[in-house]
Amino acid sequence: MAIADIMRQSRRRTSTVLTGPVLLLVIVAVLTVSPVLLLAYGGLRDAPIGAPGNLTLDNISRLVLSSAWLVILETAVISASAVIGGFLVGGVALAWLVGRTNLPGASFFEAVLTLPLYIPPIMMAVAWAMLGAPRVGLLNVISRETLGFEVLDVYSHTGVIWYLLVFSVAFQLSFAASAFRTFDASLEEAGRVSGARPFRVLVRIVVPLLFPILSGVFLYSLVRSFEAFEGPLLLGAQAGVDMISVEIYDLVQNRLPPDYPMASIMGVFSVLIVLPLTWYQWHVLGRRSFTVLGARGYKSGSYDLGVWKIPAFLLCVLATVLVVFLPISQLVLGSFTRFFGVFEAGFTLDHYSSVLHNGQLLRALRNSAVLGTIGATLALLLSGLVAYVIARGRTVPRWVRITLNFLSWLPLTVPGIVLALGFLWLYAFAPIPLYATRVGLVIAYVVLVLPLAARAMVGSLSQISADIEEAGRVAGSGWLRTVVTILIPLIWPSAMVAWILAFVGIFRDLSTSVLLVPPGQPVFSTALLELWGVGKIEEVCVLSVLAMLPMVVARYLVGRLQGYEMRMRSTSR
């Protein structure tokens, strides 16, 4: 009888353990998969959202047989190739310099060069639109007076590629530099002791061990180039440079009536383009074992640049000027000029007064702050649960953990405007009204930033031994008390980093907001786009400067929190 009771209690515990993770898996699947599935369904209909219609394959044939689609694909391939080439040539070099060498000021360069990650892309696009504008752009004014010709026409495919190259440096450096920094130098020393030359050590040891991380940056760079929206919209649209995201936006926003089915099928094709690379990294790289950071024998190290120290330093200075100093300086300068491009007219504070007394612009900033706070908090809670199941769910079936891990990462491979279009279809079939509401926008924001927040939380939880939780349970603490009193105090720096990154990701977003923002309730990015559209360039600069200040503070806080967490871990070893 006692054995039967024990077995029944064991089955009840197993059922309880499975119920939570499976329910979480269902919630994440609904949030991440259903928009893509309904997007595909919408692309196979012959009617717009909310109207009765029939299933058809005509939209596929219209797209595939369209010469414009071939031009869009060609443009996307050229742009992506340029970004990948820039990463292989410049991104890896900068990451190696700041993460693995004795470069003077390496920490400063890393902090400054990754600052654009925290600045809304539309602000950087505006800055380069002003810097490289024909005749009146600051770069062209200076080059025309000094060199006799203009150096850059930013309103072209070349200008779009330049924007993508410059803007991609930040996230490439952010991922790759940490990989070079944490690489175990004892592995390299072992290769050199065995007689291998430095180049052979690099090819046979360093590159294979860093391949998962570098390939992840490669994939992310490719996805970012495909989903780029702000730069192609501001710089390429008027020059006839057709990019996938801008074409989807045009089909929905600038057509009467909006062509939702064609936009949807184009969004599905854009996802299918990236899907093979996603599958490759997940199923091939995810099943291999790579050791980059050793345990007891771990040894950090750096290369001595020797006579190349000064040239390397100057290279990083040049990158800092191009990536950060020039665009930010242009925004600050533009906020004080009376008229864009007419420096002879002098400077003024009138534009600041105009913005600070504009209720709609202030409401846009307030809306972004409120929605960002709510969305980041919800994303942190959801990503915390996801990360706990992935990193700590030893009693959860492996297929649940693997599926949950993949689904939480999936939105990263879907362009923002495609994700927004999928949510439009989802809200059309939702049992409660979510279309054109703040609740619907917040849900999309949570899905948008879920991959970033989840990765930060998984990494932190994976560093903490499960024995700590077991000790709490042995002492009589329940699961919730163990999490609150033991885990949270240990992971709070990473949790704060995840929250800040989620808030910044929401605040800086345009591609998702532009389709889902409620009427009369603008957010920062959509207000900036509207100002640019009506030619109020000086006010665009003012609004950008005002929004930039909290983003700089966010970058500083992330750096301090990450440094604090590293000191905690080194002390606990």
Each residue's pLDDT tens digit, 74-127: 898 888 888 888 877 788 888 888 888 889 999 899 989 989 888 899 999 999
DSSP assignment of 265-329:
HHHHHHHHHHHHHHHHHHHTGGGS----S-STT-----B--GGGHHHHHHHHHHHHIIIIIHHHH
pTM higher than 0.85, yes or no? yes
Rounded CA separation 268/262 (Å): 10
Q: Which residue pairs, CB below 8 angstroms and at least 24 apart, start in 315-320?
A: 315/93, 315/94, 315/97, 316/94, 316/97, 316/98, 316/103, 316/105, 316/109, 316/113, 319/90, 319/94, 319/109, 319/113, 319/169, 320/109, 320/112, 320/113
Rounded CA separation 138/50 (Å): 48
Residue 383 in tokens: 């990503």
Say which residues have a Cβ less than 8 Å from residue 467's Cβ, sequence separation at least 6.
Answer: none
Each residue's pLDDT tens digit, 326-375: 999 999 999 998 887 677 777 899 999 999 999 999 999 999 999 999 99
Beta bridge partners of 347: 337
Average pLDDT, the chain: 83
- Does the structure show a pLDDT above 90 at 277? no
Mean pLDDT to the nearest integer, 13-24: 70
Phi first, then psi, for residue 357 (nearest 5°) are -105, 10
Mean pLDDT to the nearest integer, 315-324: 94
Residue 121, preceding peptide bond in cis (omega within 30° of 0): no
Task: Say which DSSP state 391 is in.
Answer: H
Three-point CA angle 45, 422, 389, nearest 5°: 135
Q: What's the length of the chain?
A: 573
- Does the structure show a pLDDT above 60 at 24? yes
Rounded CA separation 312/101 (Å): 10
- Does the structure show a pLDDT above 50 at 392? yes
Each residue's pLDDT tens digit, 175-204: 788 777 777 677 667 767 777 776 677 667
First to last CA, the chain: 48
Beta carbons of 338 and 345 less than 8 angstroms apart: yes
Please report where in the chains the tokens 């099943």 appear, as a residue.
Answer: 287
Beta carbons of 139 and 216 less than 8 angstroms apart: no
What is the set of domains in the chain, with CATH numbers?
Answer: 19-29+349-573 (1.10.3720.10), 67-254+305-348 (1.10.3720.10)
Beta carbons of 260 and 212 less than 8 angstroms apart: no
